Structure 1
Amino acid sequence: MRSSHAITGGLIWAVVLAVAWTGIAAAQEAAPAPAPATPVAPAAAPGEPDEKLKDLWTNFLHYILLARPEAAMSYGKAILDANPDPRQVYYLSVRSDKSGVTLATGRGMTQLTPIVEKISALIVQGARDVRKDTDEIERWIKMLEGTPRQFLMGTERLVNSAEYAVPQLIAAMENPRTSASLRERITTILPRLGKDAVRPLSESLQSKDPYVREVVARTLGKIGYGHAAPYLKEMAERKGMLARIAHVANGALASCAGRKALSKPVAELFYDLADKYYSRAESLGPDSRYETSNVWYWQEGLGLTYKIVPRVIFNEVYAMRAAQAALVHDAKFDPAIPLWIAANIRKESNLLVENARRTAANLPAAKDPTHPDDEPAAAYYALAGSAKYLQAVLARALKENDLAVATGAISALKRTAGTKNLVAVLDDQGGAQPLVAAMGSPSRLVRYMAAEIIAARPAKRFTGWHLVVPVLIESLRQSGTPIAVLADPVLDRRNEIKDLIRTAGGEVVDADNFGKALQAARDGAGADVAFIATDVTGPGFR
C-alpha cells in the first residue's frame, strides 16, 4: 500500500519527506440552553440572510439598474459594513433574478467598481463555504434516501459540493450501518461529481473496504480524467488485491489514460503525472477563483483529509508528491529525482513571491502546511543531489526560462560539483552541457552565475569555453542600471528619446544604425531593452 510518509530514495541520493498530518477535530455539541422566560423572535439560521440584509441587497441592485451609482454605493457600503457571513451574500445572489448581470453592470460604473468587487468576492467565498459545510453535506446525503424530489435536490447540492462531499460519501459507504439503498444511490451520483472530485477519489482507493475500492475505481473510469491513472494502476497491482477489483481498476485505467497505460510501470505513470503538474497542465490546475486549494490525503482510521495550500504552490506540491510516489515504486527511477528537486525549489520561490505581494497588501503571510517547520529548505535537498541531477534540473529550467529554479540549481552546483561534472555532457539531455548553455541565457544573473562557477575551476578547454571571459567582462561592467539600445537615423529624435530614458533612470547606447548600436552594447555591458525609434525605412533598419 502506498504511504504518504514514504521515504524517497535513489541510487546515491535520498530524501526523507515527513508530512505533518492534520487530524479532523471532532465537533463538540453544546448543551441545550434553557427555554427563555418570555418568547423571543428566533435568530436567523446560520448562513440565512436576515431582513435587514435582504433590504440592503434589494436596494443595492435596484439603484444599479436605475444607473444611480451614488445611491447604489451607499447600500453597497452598508452591506460591507454589516460584515455579513459570506454564505448570506451568496444566498441573496442566487435567489435574485439575474444578479450576476446586474453586478456586471455595476462593475462598469467606475465609482462602484471597488464595492462590487468586494461584494463579488464575498459571493465567491460564500459559495465555497456552502460547498464545504459538513452539516449541510450530511443533510444532503440523507436526502438521497428520501422522495424522488429530495433525491434530486440532494444530488444537485452534492454535485455542487464536488470534492468537499467525497469524504462523507466515502465514509457513508464504509459505514456498515449504511443501508443498501443509500449505498446504491451514492454509487449512482459519484460519477456526477466530475473532475473536481478525482483527487480525493484517487486517494480513496487506499480504503480497505473492497466495496469502496470497486465503486471508486468504476467511478474514476466513468469520470475519465488521466490524473487517476497511477492510483488505479497501483491498486490493481497491490498485493492480495481481489482479482475482480483488479480487473475493474484496469478497465478504469484504460478509460482514463488509454490501453497503453496498462503496460506502463506504476513509477512511470506517477512520473508522467508529476511532470504534468510541474508543467502546469491546464486539466490539473487549481480553481482560479480561490486563493487556496486542497491537497488530499488518506489516513487510516480517519479516511480522507485535506490540507489547504496557497494556490501558487498547488502544482508544485502535487508534482513533488507524484515524483516521490514514483521513487517509492522504483528507487532507480532517476528522472523523478531532478523533477522533485526542481518542484521544491520553485515551490519555495513561488511562496516567497506570494508573501512579498501579501506584505505589500498588508495581508497575513501564506504558509505551506505540507512542509513541517523543522524540515530543511529546498537548498538542503538540492545540495544533497549529485551533479548529474542538478545539471538535469538546470537543463529543464533553461528550457522553460525559469529563473528561480536555474539560479537554485547553479548555486547548488557551485558548492557540490567538481570541474569535470560542471561541463559534463548529459546523454539523457540530448548531449547538452547545461551549465555551459546557461552562459547564453537571456537572464544576466544566470549567465554571470554560470560563468563565475566555471571560471573558478580551471580545466582543459571544453565546448563553450570561449564564452566564459566575455560573460565575466559583461558582469564586471555592470552598474546595476538598466541599459537601453536606441537606434534612430534622426539625431534630434534620438536625443529626445535618449533624454526620456535617462530621466527614467536608465543608461543609453545609441547610434543611427541598429547594428552599430547593438554592437556597442555587446562591447559594453550588454542591454536590457531595445528601442528602434524610426519608421524602419532607412538602411540598416529592415
Structure 2
Amino acid sequence: MSIKISKIWLLAAMLSCTSLLSAAAMEENWNDFLHYTAIGRYELAKSKAEALIESDPDPVKMLELSQENPRGYSILLRVYNSNEQLKDAASSIIDIIEEGRYIKRTDPEIIRREIKRLSSTIRGRIKAEKRLRNSGEFAVPYLLNAIADESRKDEMPYITAALGKMGRDAVRPLCAALQMKDVAVKSEAVRALGSIGYSEALPHLKLVWETAETEDIKKLAEKNIQKIKGSALKVSSSDLFFTLAEDYYYHKDSLKPNTEFDFANVWFWDNTQKRLTREKVERGYFFELMCMRSCEWSLKADPETGEAIALWLDGFFKAQQTGIEMPEYFGQGHADAMTYAVTAGPEYLHQALARAIKDKNDYITLNLVEALAASSGEASLLESFGTSQPLVDALEYDNNAVQLSAAIALGGANPTKDFVGSSLIIERLSTAIMQENADKFGEDKAAEYADRAFDVLDKLCSARNRIVKVSKAQKTLIRVIRSDSDKYRIEAAEVLAFLKTAEAQKAIANVALSEDFDKSVRMSVFDSLIHSAKLHGSKLTDEQIDKLYSMTASRAIDSELRESAASAYGSLNLPSEKVKTLILDQARS
C-alpha cells in the first residue's frame, strides 16, 4: 500500500515539475518574442512566436502573462496590424489569449464558486462581486438560478445585491429573463435592471408594467422605470421597442457588444427548460439581429405597429448585406429577406424604402425596389410616404441599378395617371436597352436589365399607355436595331412597330430588306414591319417600296423570305397597279 502511495506522489511530483517547466518555457518564449520584436530582429521573433504556439500553451496562463505586461500586449497588437512578417504568428497568439479570456470569464465552476463567496467575508464578497462583473453577461444565468434555489435563502441578500451591480453587460440577458413566470425571480431581475440604470431596459420594463401578473410587480416595474427615465411611463412599450430597434439599426455606441471577444451573444428565455439560453453570433451583424428582435418585440406588444415591420425588413436586408451566414437560431430553411419583403406588401415596403433612400444604402434600396416591382400594382407603387413617393424618388437615386429597377417597376405597372418624374421612366429604360452600364454591372446583368426593359416597353406599347411616352425612346431604339445584337435588333423592331413615325417604320424596313442579316432575323423584322404597316399605313420611301416589290417578284430569293416580303408589301395597302404588274409578270402568254 505504501509503495502505491509513493508511486502516486512521485507521479504527481513529476506532473507538477513538467507543468512548471512548461510554464517557464512559455513565459521565456513570450518574453523573447517581445524582446526580439522590440529591437527589430523579426526572424528571431518569429521563431520564438512559433515555438510558443507549438508548445500548446495554457490559454488562461497566456492571458495572465499578457495582463502582467500591458506594454508587451500593445507590441503584440501593433505587429499584428503593421508587420506582415509577424502578422500570422501574432494572430495565433492573440487567439490563444482571447481563448484564455473567454475561459476565465465563462467557466461555470469559477462563476458558481464566486457566487458562493458572496456570502463569505466582506473582503471575499468584494472580490467575488468584482470577478462576477468581469464575467458579465455569462454570470447572469447562474445568478438567477441561485436566486431561484430556495435552499439558498440565507445567501439571497448578497446574490441580489451583486446582480444589481453587474453593469451594462448584464442588461440583455436580464431583459430576456423578464419572460419567466417565476414572479419572485422576475422581481429581482426588474430591481437589478433599475439599479444598473441603462435605457436599453426601458421597453422590457414597460412591457412588464403593461402585462403585470400582479399589482406588486406592476408597481415594482414602475419604480424601476422611474429610476432610469420616468417619462418612459408615458410611452407604450411598442414605441419604446421601436426606438430601441432604430438605435440598434444605426449602431448606437452604448449598445455595442463586449469588445473583448470576436463574437456577440443573443439571449433567449427557454420556457420549457425555464432558463436563459444564448446564441453565439458574428459581431458583423449583431446590431442588425438585435434590431430585428426589437422590432419583433414591438409587434408582440402591439401588432398594429406597422413601422416595426418596415424596419425589420431594413434590418434583415442590412444583415444579409454583410455576407455572413445567418445565425443558427434562424433554423434550417429560414426564408431570406426578399421572401419576407415580397410578402409584406407595398405599405411597409415604401416605409422601408424611404429609410434606405435616406440612409443612401444601395443594397437595401435596390432590393426593396425589386420587391415592389415583384409584388405591387400601379396604385400601390405610386403610394406616398410622408411628403414623398419613395419609388419615384428611386428614379433619381445615385445608383444606376436602382434607377433602372425603379423605372422597370413603375413602367411595368402601366401607370394611367401622370406624376412628377414620369418622364424619367423612358430615360432609364433607354439606358437599359443600350446596356450602357455593362462595365459597372457586367455583361450578364446589363443584358438582364435590357431584357426586362424591352418587356416593359412592349407592355406599355400594347396597352397604348399615354403617360409614359415610348416615342421618346425612338432614337435609342433605332440605334439598337442597327447594333450588333440580333436578339435586341428583333426586340427593338417589335417596339418601333408601335411608333407612328416614318423614321421608326423605315428603320424596321432597312433591316428586313438588308441581305447583311440572317434569314431568321429578317423574317422576324418583316413581322414587325407588317405590324407597323397595319397600325400606321405606309411610311416607307419609294426606294424601299421598290426594293420590297423586287423581293416579292424575284424567283431567286428564298421562298420564305419572299412570302414575308409579300405579306409586308400587302400590308402597306398600296395602289393596285403594282399588284396587277406582279400578277401579269408571272402569267404565261
Output the TM-score relative to the length of structure 2: 0.68
Q: Distance in 2 between matches of 1:403 and 1:65?
A: 45
Q: Aligned with 1:381: secondary structure? A: helix
Corresponding residue for residue 392 of structure 2:
436
Residue 50 of structure 1 deviates from its aligned partner by 3.1
Give yes or no for the alignment of 1:189 onto 2:158: no
Q: Distance in 2 between matches of 1:376 and 1:238?
A: 31
1:28-79 deviation line (CA, Å, top 9, x unaligned): xxxxxx989653136579x997333233223323444555433322211111
Residue 104 of structure 1 deviates from its aligned partner by 5.3
Residue 259 of structure 1 deviates from its aligned partner by 2.1
| Aligned residue among 259, 262, 269 for 1:298 | 269
Give yes or no for the alignment of 1:465 onto 2:422: yes
User: Could you tell me the percent identity over the aligned residues?
Assistant: 29
Residue 200 of structure 1 deviates from its aligned partner by 0.5
Check whether the contact 1:53–1:79 (CA below 8 A) recurs between aligned residues. yes
Corresponding residue for residue 177 of structure 2:
204
Q: Aligned with 1:208: secondary structure? A: coil
Larger mean CA deviation between 158-167 and 99-108 belongs to 99-108
Structure 1: which amino acid aligns with 2:331?
A: P
Residue 452 of structure 1 deviates from its aligned partner by 1.4
Q: 1:443 to 1:87 in 2, by over 3 A?
A: farther
Q: 1:303 to 1:84 in 2, by over 3 A?
A: same
Which consecutive residues of structure 2, in runs of 5 or more, have no partner in the other structure? Answer: 442-474, 477-589
Q: Distance in 2 between matches of 1:36 and 1:135?
A: 31
Q: Aligned with 1:249: secondary structure? A: helix
Q: 1:415 to 1:102 in 2, by over 3 A?
A: closer
Corresponding residue for residue 18 of structure 1:
none
Corresponding residue for residue 527 of structure 2:
none
Q: Distance in 1 between matches of 2:93 and 2:222?
A: 47
| Aligned residue among 100, 110, 115 for 1:141 | 115
Residue 158 of structure 1 deviates from its aligned partner by 0.9
Corresponding residue for residue 274 of structure 1:
245
Matches within 5 A, 1:52-451: 52-65=25-38, 67-96=40-69, 98-103=71-76, 111-180=85-154, 182-243=155-216, 245-256=217-228, 258-300=229-271, 301-350=273-322, 353-354=323-324, 366-426=325-385, 430-451=386-407
Q: Distance in 2 between matches of 1:106 and 1:463?
A: 57
Q: Distance in 2 between matches of 1:403 and 1:214?
A: 45
Q: 1:289 to 1:239 in 2, by over 3 A?
A: closer
Q: Distance in 2 between matches of 1:314 and 1:110?
A: 30
1:462-496 deviation line (CA, Å, top 9, x unaligned): 1211211222223334142259xxxxxxxxxxxxx
Structure 2: which amino acid aligns with 1:165?
A: A
Check whether the contact 1:232–1:253 (CA below 8 A) recurs between aligned residues. yes
Q: 1:457 to 1:482 in 2, by over 3 A?
A: closer
Residue 337 of structure 1 deviates from its aligned partner by 1.3
Check whether the contact 1:69–1:109 (CA below 8 A) recurs between aligned residues. no
Check whether the contact 1:235–1:241 (CA below 8 A) recurs between aligned residues. no
Q: 1:106 to 1:342 in 2, by over 3 A?
A: closer
Q: 1:210 to 1:96 in 2, by over 3 A?
A: same
Give yes or no for the alignment of 1:454 onto 2:410: yes
Q: How many residues are matched? A: 432
Residue 330 of structure 1 deviates from its aligned partner by 1.4
Q: Distance in 1 between matches of 2:198 and 2:25?
A: 46
Q: 1:307 to 1:44 in 2, by over 3 A?
A: farther
Q: Aligned with 1:304: secondary structure? A: strand
Structure 2: which amino acid aligns with 1:282?
A: D
Higher radius of gyration, 1 or 2: 2
Corresponding residue for residue 41 of structure 1:
12
Q: Distance in 1 between matches of 2:336 and 2:209?
A: 36
* RMSD (CA atoms): 2.8
Larger mean CA deviation between 431-440 and 150-159 belongs to 150-159
Q: Distance in 2 between matches of 1:238 and 1:419?
A: 42
Output the TM-score relative to the length of structure 1: 0.73
Q: Distance in 1 between matches of 2:220 and 2:37?
A: 55
Check whether the contact 1:217–1:249 (CA below 8 A) recurs between aligned residues. yes
Structure 2: which amino acid aligns with 1:309?
A: V
Residue 345 of structure 1 deviates from its aligned partner by 2.3
Q: Distance in 1 between matches of 2:129 and 2:347?
A: 52
Q: Distance in 2 between matches of 1:172 and 1:36?
A: 42
Q: 1:328 to 1:35 in 2, by over 3 A?
A: farther
Q: 1:104 to 1:340 in 2, by over 3 A?
A: closer
Structure 1: which amino acid aligns with 2:418?
A: R
Residue 97 of structure 1 deviates from its aligned partner by 6.5
Q: Distance in 2 between matches of 1:128 and 1:267?
A: 35
Check whether the contact 1:44–1:50 (CA below 8 A) recurs between aligned residues. no
Larger mean CA deviation between 147-156 and 111-120 belongs to 111-120
Check whether the contact 1:310–1:367 (CA below 8 A) recurs between aligned residues. no
Q: Aligned with 1:130: secondary structure? A: helix
Residue 175 of structure 1 deviates from its aligned partner by 0.6
Q: 1:105 to 1:424 in 2, by over 3 A?
A: closer
Between structures 1 and 2, the one with greater helix share: 2
Q: Distance in 1 between matches of 2:394 and 2:308?
A: 22
Q: 1:44 to 1:162 in 2, by over 3 A?
A: farther
Q: Aligned with 1:343: secondary structure? A: helix
Q: 1:367 to 1:242 in 2, by over 3 A?
A: same
1:285-337 deviation line (CA, Å, top 9, x unaligned): 22345332100011233311101111122122221221112112211121111
Check whether the contact 2:246–2:291 (CA below 8 A) recurs between aligned residues. yes
Check whether the contact 1:297–1:304 (CA below 8 A) recurs between aligned residues. yes
Residue 145 of structure 1 deviates from its aligned partner by 2.4
1:336-359 deviation line (CA, Å, top 9, x unaligned): 111122222222332xx23xxxxx
Q: 1:54 to 1:238 in 2, by over 3 A?
A: same
Check whether the contact 2:295–2:308 (CA below 8 A) recurs between aligned residues. yes
Larger mean CA deviation between 207-216 and 128-137 belongs to 207-216
